[in-house]
Structure 1
Amino acid sequence: MKRMIAFITALVVFLGIAFFKTGSSTTSTKSTNKIPTVGILQLQTHPALDAIHRGIIAGLKENGYVPGKTVKIDYQNAQGDQSNLKSMSQKFISEDADETIGIATPAAQSLVSAAGKTTPVILAGITDPAGSGLIKSDAHPGANVTGTSGESPLKSHLDLLRKLVPKAKTIGIIYTTSDHGGEYNAKKFAKICKQEGVKYKMFTIANTNDMQTVAEKMASEVDAVYAPQDNGVASAMKTLVSVTNKAKVPVIPAVDTMVKAGGLATLSVDQYQLGKLTGEMAAKVLKGKSTSNYPIKVISKGKMTINLSEAKKLGITFPKSVIKEAKTKGVIYK
């Protein structure tokens, strides 16, 4: 009888241990099969950044990460508020996002600060990421950060401006003081102007509220305006153009969406394709690729984009070569 009781006791203990291990194994499998979470932080709403966001989603999809099915997307828009950037970045980290993506330099900087050296951060079309303090170098980003950079073809922008406004003696260059990318592009463009013997004047805004006053002063002092890839200037583009149009001063911006908002023409890096490339890189990192030695990918070739209605308002005729290039390889806004 004692032997029987001992046997039954041993059997119960064995079955209990087996059940516990099976339960643990099931739990482990579920954890392994958990779909990853990607936090996407966008500085604010405007067409160029929105295009990057759409591209990111497309790039993830094409690489097997379908929102709601094989990946969870936590999308946050800070609407230009620095405190929102900080709280949203911290939210991603506290909720254990597998990866974060920053659209615009301030968003990327906030994510890098919150992530420390652990959670991967993917840069989405950031101008001068090394100069922004986000990485060590384009070739060897280091730590947990990599991504894409959109480098404006600045020399081509100057050549286009001189072709469309050949009588322009002084060019106004405007940027936002708090936008590193905007300042970087504006000062680099000014350096090219100096090298080419072109006279220029620099103008700055602290935020979009300054645009009306600064634009009025600038329009009275220059013959044409260059608007670099700058989030503040892009957001206030309609205000800028409303002022410069009255003075018959054309604006050559850096991005196609800024041409649509009233700029005359540009050679623009495709923001959607920039986002798509970012999504592809983000997918590879989710699959295990290390960020530290994953080089920054740069797109710098622009497509011709022109605004026919704006040219008509300003009394400017596009050269046939420019129209042909826009028709075959670019975009024409009517």
Structure 2
Amino acid sequence: MTVRPAPACVVAAVARRDFIRLAGATAAGFFALGATPDRMRIVASITVLPLDDELTKRNMSESSTSRLGALIAGLRQRGWVEGVNYRFEVRSSFGGPDKMRTAVQELVDLKPDVILTGSTVETAAVMAATTTIPIVFATSNDPVGNGFVQSLAHPGGNVTGFTSGAPEMGGKWLQLIKEAVPDIQRIGVLFNPASTPRAGRYYLDSLEQEAATSDVKVDLAPIGTAAEIDGAIARFAEPPRAAMISLVDSFLVVNRQAIVATTAKYRVPMIYPFHYFMDAGGLMSYGPTLEVRSADYVDLILRGTKAGDLPVQSPRKYELLINRTVASALGLKIPYTLLARADEIRE
């Protein structure tokens, strides 16, 4: 498998035409009726992170580089002002299944005009609680396979949103980490089967195919609790030479600080799917560029468009981040050929 720069846009042509047509028609209708809504709307959001998590607090800021901040800023640009014509309600599902059910029920009881979800697990929980309230998932890796939508172009039902990767990512992660650590003989795969797409199989097929061509053994490291992180990573510090891959997994995002600290403790190189891990001191990441486009869909839904009529959109660009200081601490000399392809090099 050869890693090439991601295409500028990977959204299906049909989906884009549908979106442009719906956006034009809905916006025209709204302006024809005037810019003042007839009632206070409710935009709800549920997050798997604790509300006091650094990433949650950053997301809640009005920075255009954070998910919820960009949503609020995007809605303002479209005429929606928080506290004037809509209110924003956020709940955290952190704390186990009971907390998840409570948080979801609290939001559903508010009868919001739209619910924004941040992970596959949350989307499934909200869908189980309502078939009528519009749902927009900010990230989902396999919305068709998970039963969220009928198809990407025509979701149907009350759900739509944005995908955050493809199955082929597994093979790309392996290729990239092997370029950084050429002498690896095995690759550890860290994930929580309960919170990663298809219990990990969504990415493992392409990863195992790439491993077979690279003469690298795949060694799975499934975990279910934070207490298992240390042991799961420690065994890859022993011979034969190993590196690790973190799958797309909301559980791993919640525990990103502990994971990154443990890789440093045992000097185990790991590649991650999101820049969140880089912010915590990770070695390298490869994944979709942060593009917060949910404001487009939330706006359309608030103006009357059905969620199921809005096509699911895919990432338009992927980015490679490398921390050269972390690499040096691990005793790695990143090849110039890999550094040249990086979208960002951190020191």
- TM-score normalised by the chain length of structure 2: 0.77
Q: In the TM superposition, what is the alpha-carbon distance from 1:266 to its structure 2 partner? A: 2.0
After TM superposition, give the deviation of residue 168 of structure 1 in Å: 0.9
**Comparing both structures, which one devotes a greater share of its residues to helix?**
1
Of the structure 1 ranges 154-163 and 45-54, higher mean CA displacement relative to structure 2 is found in 45-54
Pick from 106, 121, 130: which aligns with 1:91?
A: 106
Stretch deviating more after TM superposition (42-51 or 66-75): 42-51
RMSD: 2.4
The structure-2 alpha-carbon separation of the partners of 1:154 and 1:187, relative to structure 1 and needing over 3 Å to count, comes to closer
Paired-residue identity, %: 21
Shift in CA distance, 179/304, structure 1 to aligned 2, threshold 3 Å: same
In structure 1, what is the equivalent of residue 117 of structure 2?
102
CA gap 1:146/1:115 in 2 versus in 1, 3 angstroms: same
Offset, 1:270: 2.5
Q: Which of these two proteins has the greater Rg computed from alpha carbons?
A: 1
The answer on whether the counterparts of 2:117 and 2:123 sit within 8 Å (CA) in structure 1 is yes
- Inter-partner Cα distance in structure 2 for 1:126 and 1:69: 31
User: What is the correspondence of 1:34-113 to structure 2 with a 5 Å cutoff?
Assistant: 34-45=39-50, 50=59, 51-113=66-128
- Residue of structure 2 equivalent to 1:146: 160
Secondary structure at the counterpart of residue 125 of structure 1: strand
Cα offsets for 1:110-152 (capped at 9, x unmatched) = 2111112x11011111221222222222222111000111005
- Choose the corresponding residue for 2:314, options 298, 303, 311: 298
Does residue 331 (structure 1) correspond to residue 344 (structure 2)? The answer is yes
Q: 1:283 aligns with which of 277, 299, 303?
A: 299
* 2:133 equivalent to 1:119: yes
TM-score, normalised on structure 1?
A: 0.80
When residues 135 and 267 of structure 1 are mapped into structure 2, their CA distance, relative to the original with a 3 A threshold, is: same
1:318 to 334, 337, 341: 334
> What does residue 175 of structure 2 align with?
159
**Structure 2, unpaired ranges of 5+:** 1-35, 60-65
| Structure 2 letter corresponding to 1:207 | T
Equivalent residues in 2 for 1:203-218, closer than 5 Å? 203-218=221-236
1:237, 1:111 → 2: CA distance?
25
Task: Please state whether the residue corresponding to 2:231 is helix, strand or coil.
Answer: helix
Q: Aligned match of 2:144 in 130, 139, 143?
A: 130
Give the aligned partner of residue 190 of structure 1.
207
Q: What is the deviation of 1:39?
A: 0.8
1:179 matched to 2:192? The reply is: no
- Count of residue pairs brought into register by the alignment: 297
Structure 1 counterpart SS, 2:245: strand
For residue 123 of structure 1, give the secondary structure of its aligned residue in structure 2.
strand
Residue segments in structure 1 that go unaligned for 5+ positions in a row: 1-30
The one-letter amino acid paired with 2:330 is L
